[in-house]
Structure 1
Amino acid sequence: MCHVTRIVVASGNAGKLAEFNRLLSDAGLEFVSQRELGVDDIEETGLTFVENALLKARHAARVTGLPSLADDSGLCVDALDGAPGLYSARYAGTHGDAAANIAKLLRALDGVEDARRGAYFHCTLALLRHPDDPRPLIAEGEWRGRILHAPRGEGGFGYDPVFLDTGTGLTAAELDPTTKNRISHRGLALAQLQHAVSAL
């Protein structure tokens, strides 16, 4: 794996791509979005984060012939029995409409007191050397916090403006990128992955 430098990211999300490049740049890896290579999204039919990550990674690797990295992540809210979970990106019906997703989430939590607004971001990463890789590298991370009653902050993406990191007292959208990358679900999963890649 150490001789491979170019990896296709099975996502068109510019925020995720930027985080991957920031966090794994010192591993000597170059990440390119599947969108840049003309790869369409595949339907996420898995019932778990791991299944969806593997589906996306296999598809990107098969179409491009490159090693691939896929991320399946979501926000799981305690008071909503883990929703939106696997459907976080399309919670309000349209994939990637962050404003609509946040609005629906806040409506669902209307009247729920702070003590019951616990939540966590989960991230599963799957790295395949080739489409039929029988031994994919899997890494996972979790970031616990609480859902606010209204958005705060201008940074990040997705649900970041309403996700409060209780350790810092800041939302994910208020954290500076360095701090966020260190404590976030994706940052923790990427740290695991970086260790696994270096051990290959």
Structure 2
Amino acid sequence: MKIEVWQGDITTLAVDAIVNAANESLLGGGGVDGAIHLAAGPGLLEDCERLPQVRPGVRCPTGEVVTTDAHALPARFVLHTVGPVWHDGQRDERALLANCYWKSLQLAEKLGARSIAFPAISCGVYGYPLYRAAEVAATETLAWQRSHREPRRIILVAYNTATFKAYQQALAAAGQPLGDAESSSWAERMHAPLAAMA
């Protein structure tokens, strides 16, 4: 298996788990966080509100991950992770972002998920430089796939062409070339029912 790259709306993918780039409150926000909450319906926010706060206003610290049901989404689980805000690269941003990927994969494995889709964590309002973030995503997911059996299908979801190209370049630099035809064929398969993917 290879790490897959797909451009489009992460909320439409029929995978076992999708990752939400959330904020520490887990009460919704903009970008992919807002899109996931909108597509999932109000039950997702209710689930998040029920999660315990580790300190006032914080249900998931930066670099950590928690899970909820996916509600109206075609996925089974939503894994909420909080990426770092980019400052200068000297405040453990890379390690925290790497934790988002690795701990999400650990939790997905624990949940029995065979497929997982990631957005471009921290690349929106948190300001993480795109190509640096793509390198972390490629490095961490490839390392996981080489040492674990599940989730065996890992998809990096790009919200625009620039992100799609950044992922492809990062994967190629890490030793995994990926062509456009391969990506589009995967996109078609991802919309098949979960039973057809077993």
With the length of structure 2 as denominator, give the TM-score of the two structures: 0.33
Kindly name which structure, 1 or 2, has the bigger radius of gyration based on alpha carbons.
Answer: 1
More strand by share: 1
Report 1 or 2 for greater relative contact order, CA contacts < 8 Å, sequence distance ≥ 6: 2
